[in-house]
Amino acid sequence: MWHFRGTPFYLDAQADRMGLSKVLVDRARTNHEIHRVALLLGQLCERYHRAPKEEGRAVVFPAELAQIQGGLGQAECEISKLHALAAAATAMIDEAYRAFGLAIPERTHRVICDSDTAPAPADLVPIRLHPKHPRAAKEKV
């Protein structure tokens, strides 16, 4: 039987797995995306416990199942945002290391994607605006 245990339980487990400090993880608890995921999963857990069960699986009507799939889809969108933020932050930090001629430290965790055929985010070249683009003129001032 499924029991959603809330964000602290899962964050602590991941912090232990990744070797992160408790202080750092405590600061992550207030993240908006993880809060939305926890809220959605808390609601889904309530639905699970209200539904009749067959062999440990909740039995729901198709309309309710579609709502559940929608809620899980929203949670997946929050995951995507978190991955994009982590990948962008990694690229920005790597650029700063290179700008100062410092070696990029080995990290115990990385953001990768199944569809990664392009270079790593740190190796991407930023898109240049055409000189006649309105925003390009503002950047030169």
- Maximum Cα–Cα distance for the chain, whole Å? 67
pLDDT tens digit sequence for 35-54: 999 999 999 999 999 999 99
pLDDT at 141: 44
Residue showing tokens 């245990």? 5
Burial 34-62 (b: 16+ CB within 10 A, else e): beebbebbeebeeebeebeeeeeebebee
**What is the DSSP code string of 116-138?**
--SPPGGGPPPPPPPTTSHHHHH
pLDDT along the chain (141 residues), means of 10: 84 87 88 92 93 92 95 94 92 94 87 70 54 53 44
Output the pLDDT for position 124.
Answer: 55
Helix, strand, coil shares of the chain, percent, nearest 5, are 60, 5, 35
Please provide the distance, in angstroms rounded to a whole number, between the alpha carbons at the two ends of the chain.
Answer: 62
- In the block, residue with structure tokens 């995951």: 79
* pLDDT the model gives residue 134: 55
Position 20 scores a pLDDT of: 87
